Amino acid sequence: MALDILQEKGVPLDKQVFTWKDLVRRPYSKLDDDAFTRVCVIYMNGIMADALRTKHAFARMNRELREPLAMIRRLEQYEQTLINWLNPPDQTPLETTLGFEQVAIEVTASVALREPDPYLAQTYRFGLLEDFDHLYRYSALYDRLEGKDPNTITQSYTDIIPGRPTSVEHRHPVDDLRRPYDKRTAHPLTKLHAMSITASENQTHDYYMTVGPFFSDPVARQLYAEIASIEEQHTSMYESLLDPGESMLERWLLHEAMEVYNFYSCVAFEKNPRIKEIWQRFLDYELGQLHYVKEIFQRVEKRDAAEVLPSTLPEPIGFKEHRDFVRKTLNQEEDMASNGQDYVRMADLPRDHRSYIWRDQLNSDGSPSETVAAGYKWIPGTELAARTPRMGSTFEGKKVH
């Protein structure tokens, strides 16, 4: 049933309380939980990180809103903590990275399929093919560095094949900027989508920047540097979709609605009752926060929040596999590039284009993403499983040394 966010009041702020024991709960199981439970945890951590990031930026530029921003920020920091601490300690940074890329593929695919604005939909498909390639590169790293199978994390939901090669994703900064939606005419879902994917990619960038130096292998360190750079490009690309003409309060109100929408989507998906209860609780908290901000918006801007907010939420995000859509997109749009704000075929860019010059400079000392996945084909049980059949069977005569 559709959620009427203007009617549902949620939990008032003074009832949104936590303890340290409550914040640090039993994590999900890396072995037994569904990959999309991990996807939701990683994704919602990104959404809440952006809630804080955005409000910190507001507070640095607005005296009047400092107190209400501080109030909401504190509650959201607790929410983010509880969510992020659901990641289990036996899930290594590289395994969590595979989860990040699964988020970037499946959530972006869901968004691209439902986005009403064709230009924004194209932007999501464009970014999707790049993150799709990152999963393949990190999978090769995981297999070759640790002798482990990346599909144990992605659980056969997502293809592990090359996308638009990471080595050609490096562009001139100007070629990452897009045309923003128009706040007056854009569908509310367009705004929720753009804020959600911006949040998710920004957190992916920050995560890679944090964990990259923990790796000992130089190619791993290089690969994190390279893909973090693409995530910075993606953050620039997606945030440029947001209309800079929106007032601070309008953006804040929309951000709260976006958080509500994403928790609502997680509630609709989650099968693990222990985790679902958390999504439901934070959906109710976020509704409370939305109404708190709505009051401020209406008082300060002297206009009805219903002008900005959708009354009912759209269909929840599809936390599920989108292989057919991703394959079709890869088949049709792998060779897309951007020239300023416009999409073109890569072959149509002149060889002296600024993005070629930018990319060639970066790759001139070798390409980490090409090195790590040279000749790599995923098969179940790691690429070593493809090597062993040549040795013959130990059950049928091969001597075990």
Partner 1 sequence: MKTTTSDMGRNRTGVATSPIDSADIIQEAEKHQPSHLGDGSLLLQVRQLYARESEGLGSVPPPASLKGVAKTAVDALKGSKPTVFIDKLGERLAFERSGTRLYEGALAKFDVYGGWEGGPTREGLEKIYNDELSHFLMLTEALKSLGADPTAVTPSAEVTAVVSQGLPMLIADPRANLRQSLEALLVAELTDNACWEMLIELARDLGHDTLADRFQLALDSEGQHLLWVRGWLAAGVSEEARGAPAGEKRAGTQPRV
Q: Which helix (H) or strand (E) holds 113?
A: helix 93-114
Under the binding rule (CB under 8 A), the answer on residue 382 touching partner 1 is: no
Q: Which helix (H) or strand (E) holds 354?
A: helix 354-363
Under the binding rule (CB under 8 A), the answer on residue 33 touching partner 1 is: yes
How is residue 158 annotated by DSSP?
S
Site size toward partner 1 (CB under 8 A) is: 42
User: Which residue type sits at 345?
Assistant: R
Nearest distance in Å: CB 163, partner 1 = 9
| Region from 13-21, 154-162, 191-199, 342-350 binding partner 1, contact rule CB under 8 A | 154-162
Do residues 332 and 285 lie in contact, with contact meaning Cβ atoms separated by under 8 Å?
no
- Given the complex with partner 1, which of 79 and 149 has the nearer CB atom? 149
| Binding track, positions 360-379, relative to partner 1; x by CB under 8 A | ------x---xxxxxxxxxx
Query: What is the dihedral sign for C-alpha 223, 224, 225, 227?
Result: positive
Give the Cβ contact number of residue 102 at 10 Å: 25
Torsion-angle region of residue 156: left (phi > 0), alpha (psi -120 to 50) or beta? left
Determine which residue in the list 116, 213, 245, 380 makes contact with partner 1, applying CB under 8 A: 380
Under the binding rule (CB under 8 A), the answer on residue 91 touching partner 1 is: no
- Cα Rg, the chain, nearest whole Å: 22
Residue 301 to residues 188, 253, 395, Cα–Cα distance (Å) = 19, 12, 77
| Region from 2-10, 47-55, 143-151, 306-314 binding partner 1, contact rule CB under 8 A | 143-151
Query: Which residue reads 């908290």 in tokens?
Result: 285
Do residues 186 and 118 lie in contact, with contact meaning Cβ atoms separated by under 8 Å?
no
- Given the complex with partner 1, which of 2 and 374 has the nearer CB atom? 374
Query: What is the dihedral sign for C-alpha 56, 103, 223, 129?
Result: negative
Nearest distance in Å: CB 34, partner 1 = 6
Nearest distance in Å: CB 155, partner 1 = 5
Q: Contacts with partner 1 in 292-331 (CB under 8 A)? A: 321, 323, 327
Nearest distance in Å: CB 388, partner 1 = 15
Under the binding rule (CB under 8 A), the answer on residue 80 touching partner 1 is: no
Do residues 128 and 330 lie in contact, with contact meaning Cβ atoms separated by under 8 Å?
no
Under the binding rule (CB under 8 A), the answer on residue 165 touching partner 1 is: yes
- Given the complex with partner 1, which of 165 and 316 has the nearer CB atom? 165
From 253, 119, 144, select the one nearest 195 (Cα to Cα): 253
CA terminus-to-terminus distance, the chain: 63
- Given the complex with partner 1, which of 244 and 375 has the nearer CB atom? 375
Residue 253 to residues 15, 257, 261, 310, 372, Cα–Cα distance (Å) = 20, 6, 12, 11, 43
Q: Contacts with partner 1 in 198-237 (CB under 8 A)? A: 217-219, 222
Determine which residue in the list 6, 23, 161, 344 makes contact with partner 1, applying CB under 8 A: 161
Under the binding rule (CB under 8 A), the answer on residue 152 touching partner 1 is: yes
- Given the complex with partner 1, which of 23 and 52 has the nearer CB atom? 23
Residues in the chain: 401
Nearest distance in Å: CB 221, partner 1 = 9
From 142, 128, 136, select the one nearest 91 (Cα to Cα): 142
Nearest distance in Å: CB 374, partner 1 = 3
Nearest distance in Å: CB 269, partner 1 = 16
Measured CA to CA, the distance from residue 248 to residue 296 in angstroms comes to 12
Determine which residue in the list 162, 288, 314, 318 makes contact with partner 1, applying CB under 8 A: 162
Under the binding rule (CB under 8 A), the answer on residue 84 touching partner 1 is: no
- Given the complex with partner 1, which of 32 and 352 has the nearer CB atom? 32
Nearest distance in Å: CB 207, partner 1 = 20
The site for partner 1 (CB under 8 A) is made up of 26, 31-35, 88-90, 144-145, 151-152, 155-162, 165, 217-219, 222, 321, 323, 327, 366, 370-380, 383
